[in-house]
């Protein structure tokens, strides 16, 4: 069994949905996980925002636009009147359900119900389409098996037990369809795995059923060795290890949700990134096998913006122990993850990407020493075989960057990663300079 996930643009038009139906029949038996049609979740976010701000008319206006868009979609997707009617009914029911929220109280609970509708629409329409063309399948409601616990982490035991039960009850079926992104929480309410979470759903499903392979279908042919928005001539990378893929996904390669690497890694299920627009392209294979170095050290680079650098300078660090613990405790208190860290004997620099509690953090840190904050920073993450290759990698990297002021450098945290921090203004220069050494 394989798990195939299709993103919003891969099912963004009726024609694309039809193409997906052709693709999946070559990969049977499989579980197909769908995102919402592109643009839908954003529109639903706008509907909820309007309701939260009590702008009812605006929410109705956005909702009517969504409805109009889907009526056109349905007319083009289906050829029979019966299916068109069922499609209209599905949209109408969902729209009526959301419109009910415009009277009465509106909280995050209702918001999450609204956000879930995009995936319910896409899978509902796709299921109807498969039936119209005579492809037998079973639609498995994700809300029956996908669950997060009190800490908002996936409840893997629950997912495994409930999903496998459903599959064994349908053991003659070779095509299952389900929603990405949506789940239930520990109070059994409708919730979600956060924006872009369909990849995470696919990975959790693949791990839960111990599948042969997880395929993530998007509109680019794999993870590229550099950011195609800033650099020309980037190339897809054939293979990555789970750890390399996790670093790249986290530090900017937008193609894969960073959390989605872990469940696959834990069960050693390979993940293949493929392109719906170019199905014959090789894409990127992420797997466990220790990948032999290509002898060129740097395999890929990715960049993540919106980083804040915090420097704490204190004479109390000198020859003292316990100082870093006190620094880390402050970030823990404010539930703010630290990404990068470098130290000297009298100062420590670290980065965060969540500035919601920055004022509180700075106030606490000032009790330990002088604090400097630099905003608008970019993390540049280089992935490759650095330690294994023994020597030369750092020299080539820094040579390529000899004219660029570097704010922080982190080397040796893992064997496959070198991380740099630069001012965001320099990002394009850095990515293009590094491209020369691939």
Enumerate binding residues for ligand ASP (CB under 6 A): 7-8, 35-36, 41, 118, 180-181, 195-198
Beta sheet of 175-179, edge-to-edge order: 138-140, 175-179, 30-34, 2-6, 213-218, 271-275, 284-287, 239-241
Closest separation between CB of residue 194 and ligand ASP, Å?
8
Instruction: Residue 197: name its binding partner from ligand ASP, Mg ion, none (Cβ under 5 to 8 Å by kind).
Output: ligand ASP
- Nearest position to ligand ASP, beta carbon: 198
Instruction: Residue 180: name its binding partner from ligand ASP, Mg ion, none (Cβ under 5 to 8 Å by kind).
Output: ligand ASP
- Buried/exposed code over 343-371 (b: 16+ C-beta within 10 A; e: otherwise): eeeebbbbbbeeeebbeebeebbeebbeb
Instruction: Residue 109: name its binding partner from ligand ASP, Mg ion, none (Cβ under 5 to 8 Å by kind).
Output: none
What is the end-to-end Cα distance of the chain in Å, rounded? 37
Closest separation between CB of residue 432 and ligand ASP, Å?
30
Q: Collect all residues with Cβ–Cβ distance below 8 Å to 301 and sequence separation of at least 6.
A: 225, 226, 227, 380, 381, 382, 383, 431, 434, 435
Q: Look-up: residue for tokens 């945290």?
A: 413
Which parts of 198-322 are beta strand (E)?
213-218, 239-241, 271-275, 284-287, 298-313
Interface pick for Mg ion out of 3, 6, 7, 191 (rule CB under 5 A): 7
Q: Collect all residues with Cβ–Cβ distance below 8 Å to 9 and sequence separation of at least 6.
A: 16, 38, 218, 219, 276
Closest separation between CB of residue 38 and Mg ion, Å?
9
> Which span (5-13, 246-254, 323-331, 387-395) binds Mg ion, by CB under 5 A?
5-13
- What DSSP character marks residue 144? G
**Positive or negative: CA dihedral 13, 15, 18, 22:** negative
Instruction: Residue 195: name its binding partner from ligand ASP, Mg ion, none (Cβ under 5 to 8 Å by kind).
Output: ligand ASP
Closest separation between CB of residue 36 and ligand ASP, Å?
4
Instruction: Give the whole-angstrom CA distance, residue 227 versus residue 371.
Output: 33
258 counts as binding Mg ion under rule CB under 5 A: no
Closest separation between CB of residue 189 and ligand ASP, Å?
18
Cβ closer to ligand ASP: 108 or 318? 108
Instruction: Residue 289: name its binding partner from ligand ASP, Mg ion, none (Cβ under 5 to 8 Å by kind).
Output: none
Closest separation between CB of residue 49 and ligand ASP, Å?
15
Please report which helix (H) or strand (E) contains residue 32, including its range: strand 30-34
Cβ closer to ligand ASP: 110 or 239? 110
Cβ closer to Mg ion: 272 or 407? 272
Closest separation between CB of residue 199 and Mg ion, Å?
6
Closest separation between CB of residue 222 and ligand ASP, Å?
18
Instruction: Residue 36: name its binding partner from Mg ion, ligand ASP, none (Cβ under 5 to 8 Å by kind).
Output: ligand ASP
3-state secondary structure of 232: coil
Instruction: Residue 72: name its binding partner from ligand ASP, Mg ion, none (Cβ under 5 to 8 Å by kind).
Output: none
Residue 233 has a CB neighbour count (10 Å cut-off) of 10
User: Binding string, 157-196, against Mg ion, x = CB under 5 A?
Assistant: ---------------------------------------x
> Which span (7-15, 258-266, 336-344, 427-435) binds Mg ion, by CB under 5 A?
7-15
Cβ closer to ligand ASP: 36 or 286? 36
Distance of CA 393 to the CA centre of its chain: 30
Instruction: Residue 41: name its binding partner from Mg ion, ligand ASP, none (Cβ under 5 to 8 Å by kind).
Output: ligand ASP
**Long-range CB contact pairs, 22-25, < 8 A, 24+:** 23/217, 23/276, 23/279, 24/175, 25/135
Instruction: Give the whole-angstrom CA distance, residue 214 versus residue 104.
Output: 42
Please report which helix (H) or strand (E) contains residue 350, including its range: strand 347-352
283 counts as binding Mg ion under rule CB under 5 A: no
Q: Give me the residues that bind Mg ion (CB under 5 A), please.
A: 7, 196
């Amino acid at each position: 069994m394989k798990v195939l996930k299709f993103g919003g643009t891969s099912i963004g038009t009726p024609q694309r949905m039809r193409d997906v139906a052709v693709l999946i029949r070559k990969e049977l038996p499989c579980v197909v996980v769908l995102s919402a049609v592109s643009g839908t979740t954003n529109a639903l976010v706008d509907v909820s925002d309007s309701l939260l701000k009590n702008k009812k008319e605006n929410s109705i206006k956005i909702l009517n636009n969504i409805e109009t868009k889907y009526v056109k979609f349905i007319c083009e997707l289906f050829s029979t009147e019966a299916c068109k009617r069922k499609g209209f009914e599905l949209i109408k029911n969902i729209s009526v359900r959301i419109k009910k929220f415009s009277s009465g109280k509106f909280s995050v609970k209702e918001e999450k119900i609204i956000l879930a509708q995009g995936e319910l629409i896409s899978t509902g329409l796709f299921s109807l389409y498969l039936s119209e063309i005579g492809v037998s399948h079973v639609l498995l409601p994700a809300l029956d098996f996908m669950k997060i616990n009190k800490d908002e982490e996936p409840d893997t035991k629950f997912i495994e037990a409930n999903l496998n039960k459903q599959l064994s009850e349908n053991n003659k079926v070779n095509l299952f369809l389900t929603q990405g992104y949506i789940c239930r929480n520990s109070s059994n309410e409708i919730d979600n795995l956060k924006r872009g979470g369909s990849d995470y759903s696919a990975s959790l499903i693949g791990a839960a059923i111990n599948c042969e392979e997880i395929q993530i279908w998007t509109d680019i042919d794999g993870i590229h060795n550099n950011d195609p928005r800033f650099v020309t001539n980037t190339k897809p990378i054939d293979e990555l290890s789970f750890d390399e893929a996790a670093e790249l996904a986290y530090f900017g390669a937008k193609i894969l949700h960073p959390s989605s690497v872990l469940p696959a890694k834990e069960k050693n299920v390979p993940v293949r990134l493929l392109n719906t627009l170019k199905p014959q392209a090789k894409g990127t294979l992420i797997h466990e096998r220790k990948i032999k170095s290509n002898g060129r050290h740097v395999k890929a680079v990715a960049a993540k913006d919106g980083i804040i650098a915090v420097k704490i300078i204190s004479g109390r660090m000198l020859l003292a122990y316990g100082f870093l613990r006190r620094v880390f405790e402050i970030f823990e208190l404010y539930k703010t993850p630290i990404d990068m860290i470098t130290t000297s004997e009298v100062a420590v620099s670290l980065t965060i990407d969540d500035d919601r509690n920055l004022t509180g953090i700075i106030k606490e840190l000032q009790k330990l020493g002088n604090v400097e904050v630099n905003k608008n920073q970019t993390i540049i993450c280089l992935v490759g075989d650095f330690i294994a290759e023994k020597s030369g990698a750092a020299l080539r990297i820094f040579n390529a960057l000899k004219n660029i002021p570097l704010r922080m450098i982190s080397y040796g945290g893992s064997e496959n990663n070198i991380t740099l921090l630069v001012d965001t203004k320099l990002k394009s220069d850095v990515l293009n300079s590094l491209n020369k050494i691939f």
